[in-house]
C-alpha cells in the first residue's frame, strides 16, 4: 500500500516533536485527519500564528508577543533583583509561589559541556547585557539542582563576580513539611553538607 | 548474540545521559567489572520516577541491569553516598573526565584499575584537592589502562631517562634525547619532568606544566581529531567577550 505524499509529509513533520517516533507520528496523523479535523485545523492555525507573533522578550528572553513582556514592563516589579531560570516552566513555578517580586531572565536551556552547549550556545552575552544594565543589584540563580544546572550557576556566578554584582543561589534541602524518614538519602546527605548555623 | 544476562549490585558511575522516547533515558555508565555500557532507563524522566535524582553523574551508584545486546535495560540504581555533590570548578573538571571516558573508552571493555582511578579522582575533586594534579593523574592512568602505555622512565632506546637531559617525546616511540631534535620543537620535555611523572609526583610547578603540555598532545593524538567539548566550554568561559578580568 502506498500512502499519498501529503500524508507522508505530515507524518514526517510530526516526528520533530520530542519523543515522537514513526509509529506515534502515524497515529497522530491518522487521528487528526480522520477523527478530529476541526482540532487539526485549530492546531494548524495556532501553530502558524504562534510562529508568526511570538518572539523572545528583549529583557527576560522568555516568549512574548511584544518587544518587552508585560512582566518586565510592569512598574510593580522590583528591578534590583534578577532571578535566572532555565525554562519558562521554571518561571511559572516561581510565580506560583507569590513570594518573589523581582524580575526574571530565562536562559532557554542549560550548560551541557558533553553536548557542546557552552556560554556561547546559551547566549550568555545577551544575559550579561541584561544583568549589567545598572539597575540590577542582585542576581538570584534558580537553575535546577542537576549537574548541568549547577554548572550553569557556577559559570554565571563567575561571569558576574568579576563585574561586581551580588550573586546568590536558591537553597536546597529537605522539602517543606518533609519528614526525614521519607526523604531520599541524597537530599539528606546534601542537606547535612550544606547545613547552616543558627 | 550473547545470552541475556542479569547483573546485580554492580558499582558504577553515570557518565552521560540523554532523553530517549517520551519518558526514558539512555544512560552511559562506567561500571567496575563491565566497563562502559549503555543502559535504557525506562520511565526515568517521569515526574515521580524514583530514578530521577539517582541517575546523576559523578555519584557512586550500585546498578542492576539485564539484557545481552548493545543496549541493556536498567533494572535498579541505588545511590551509594559518602561523597558530596560537585560544584564550581571541580564540576567542570569532572565533566572533562567523563568526556575523556566517553570518547576514548570502548564499550564493554572492563577496566577495574581505571575505575578505581576514576573514583579516586572524583573523591579528590569533591574534597577540594588540587585540580590540575587530579586531572594529570587520571589522564596518565587512562592512557596506561587503554594500552597506550607511556614509557616515562626509559628513553626510546631503553636507556634510563636522565633528569638533567632534555627529551623530545615522540608519540608511539617514546622519549628521544634532544640532540636529534631542535630546541623549539613543541615536544620538548625535561628528563626530570618525565621521571616525576613516572613516579606520580606533581609537586614541582615545572612538572605540572610539562605534564599538562605532554598529556594534552597525547590525548589530542589518541582522540584522532575529535574536539573535547568540555575543554572548549572551559576556555570559552574564561575568554568570554567583554570580560573585564
Question: Could you state, in order of their start, the residue ranges of all structural domains in chain A?
Answer: 1-39, 77-169
Compute the mean pLDDT over every residue in chain B, rounded to the nearest whole number: 89
Q: For B168, phi and psi rounded to 5 degrees? A: -105, 125
Find the mean pLDDT for residues A56-77: 94
pLDDT at B245: 41
Residue A125, min C-alpha distance to chain B (Å): 8
- Domain A1-39, architecture per CATH: Orthogonal Bundle (1.10)
State yes or no: pLDDT of A37 exceeds 80.
Answer: yes
Which of A21, A116, A154 comes nearest B91 by C-beta?
Answer: A154
| ipTM computed for the complex | 0.86
- CATH number attached to the domain at A77-169: 3.40.1360.10
The answer to whether B79 faces chain A, any CB pair under 8 Å, is: yes
Interface of B with A in 132-171 (CB under 8 A): none
Helix (H, G, I), strand (E, B) or coil at B38: strand
Can you list the domains of chain B with their CATH numbers?
6-79 (2.40.50.140), 86-245 (1.20.1440.120)
Which of B58, B230, B236 comes nearest A114 by C-beta?
Answer: B230
Which of A20, A114, A154 comes nearest B87 by C-beta?
Answer: A154
The answer to whether B189 faces chain A, any CB pair under 8 Å, is: no
Name which of B136, B111, B107, B110 is nearest B121 in CA terms: B136
Name which of B166, B172, B152 is nearest B222 in CA terms: B172
Cα gap B184→B45, rounded to integer Å: 54
CB B193 within 8 A of CB B205: no
Name which of B56, B91, B231 is nearest A155 in CA terms: B91
Which range among A134-143, B34-43, B183-192 shows the weakest confidence by mean pLDDT?
Answer: B183-192
Per CATH, A1-39 and A77-169 having the same topology is answered: no
Cα gap A181→A21, rounded to integer Å: 41
Find the mean pLDDT for residues A121-149: 93
Here the cell at position A163 is 563585574
The answer to whether B56 faces chain A, any CB pair under 8 Å, is: yes
With cut-offs at 50, 70 and 90, classify the pLDDT of residue B188. Answer: confident
State yes or no: pLDDT of B82 exceeds 90.
Answer: no
Alpha helices in chain A (DSSP H): 5-14, 22-30, 37-53, 70-73, 88-96, 124-131, 147-161, 185-193
Find the mean pLDDT for residues A41-53: 96
Tell me the per-residue pLDDT of B195-223, one tens digit each, with 9 for 90 and over.
999 998 999 999 999 999 999 999 999 99
Here the cell at position A39 is 482540532
Higher-scoring residue by pLDDT: B244, B159: B159
Tell me the per-residue pLDDT of B224-244, one tens digit each, with 9 for 90 and over.
988 899 988 888 887 776 544
Q: Which residues of A touch B240 (CB under 8 A)?
A: 119, 124, 128, 159
**A92: how many CB neighbours lie within 10 A of its CB?**
11
Amino acid at each position: 500500500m502506498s500512502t499519498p505524499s501529503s500524508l507522508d509529509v505530515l507524518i514526517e513533520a510530526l516526528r520533530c516533536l520530542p519523543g515522537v517516533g514513526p509509529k506515534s507520528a502515524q497515529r497522530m496523523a491518522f487521528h487528526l485527519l480522520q477523527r478530529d479535523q476541526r482540532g487539526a485545523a485549530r492546531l494548524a492555525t495556532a501553530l502558524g500564528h504562534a510562529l508568526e507573533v511570538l518572539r523572545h522578550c528583549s529583557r527576560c528572553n522568555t516568549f512574548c508577543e511584544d518587544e518587552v513582556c508585560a512582566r518586565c514592563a510592569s512598574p510593580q516589579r522590583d528591578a534590583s533583583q534578577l532571578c535566572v531560570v532555565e525554562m519558562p516552566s521554571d518561571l511559572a513555578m516561581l510565580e506560583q509561589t507569590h513570594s518573589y517580586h523581582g524580575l526574571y531572565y530565562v536562559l532557554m536551556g542549560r550548560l551541557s559541556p558533553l553536548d557542546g552547549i557552552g556560554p556561547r550556545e546559551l547566549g550568555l552575552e545577551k544575559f550579561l547585557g541584561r544583568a549589567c544594565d545598572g539597575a540590577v543589584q542582585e542576581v538570584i540563580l534558580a537553575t535546577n539542582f542537576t549537574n548541568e544546572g549547577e554548572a550553569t550557576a557556577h559559570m554565571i556566578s563567575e561571569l558576574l563576580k568579576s563585574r561586581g554584582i551580588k550573586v546568590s543561589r536558591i537553597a536546597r534541602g529537605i522539602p517543606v513539611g518533609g519528614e526525614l524518614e521519607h526523604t531520599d538519602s541524597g537530599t539528606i546527605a546534601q542537606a547535612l553538607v550544606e547545613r547552616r548555623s543558627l | 548474540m550473547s545470552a541475556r544476562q542479569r547483573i546485580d549490585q554492580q558499582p558504577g558511575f553515570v557518565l552521560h545521559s540523554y532523553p530517549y522516547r517520551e519518558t526514558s533515558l539512555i544512560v552511559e555508565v562506567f561500571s567496575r567489572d563491565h566497563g562502559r555500557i549503555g543502559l535504557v532507563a525506562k520511565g526515568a524522566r517521569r515526574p515521580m520516577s524514583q530514578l530521577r535524582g539517582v541517575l546523576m553523574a559523578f555519584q557512586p551508584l550500585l546498578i542492576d541491569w539485564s539484557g545481552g545486546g548493545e543496549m541493556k535495560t536498567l533494572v535498579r540504581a541505588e545511590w551509594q553516598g559518602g561523597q558530596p555533590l560537585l560544584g564550581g570548578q571541580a564540576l567542570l573538571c569532572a565533566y572533562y573526565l567523563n568526556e575523556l571516558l566517553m570518547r576514548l573508552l570502548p564499550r564493554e571493555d572492563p577496566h577495574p584499575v581505571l575505575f578505581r582511578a576514576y573514583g579516586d579522582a572524583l573523591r579528590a575533586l569533591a574534597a577540594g584537592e588540587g585540580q590540575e594534579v587530579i586531572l594529570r593523574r587520571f589522564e596518565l592512568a587512562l592512557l596506561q589502562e587503554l594500552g597506550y602505555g607511556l614509557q616515562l622512565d626509559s628513553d626510546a632506546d631503553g636507556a634510563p631517562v636522565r633528569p638533567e637531559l632534555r627529551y623530545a617525546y615522540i608519540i608511539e616511540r617514546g622519549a628521544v634525547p634532544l640532540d636529534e631534535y631542535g630546541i623549539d620543537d613543541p615536544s620538548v620535555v625535561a628528563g626530570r619532568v618525565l621521571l616525576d611523572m613516572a613516579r606520580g609526583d606533581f609537586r614541582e610547578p615545572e612538572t605540572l606544566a610539562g605534564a599538562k603540555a605532554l598529556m594534552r598532545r597525547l590525548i589530542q593524538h589518541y582522540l584522532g581529531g575529535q574536539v573535547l567539548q568540555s575543554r572548549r566550554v572551559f576556555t570559552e568561559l574564561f575568554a568570554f567577550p567583554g570580560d573585564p578580568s
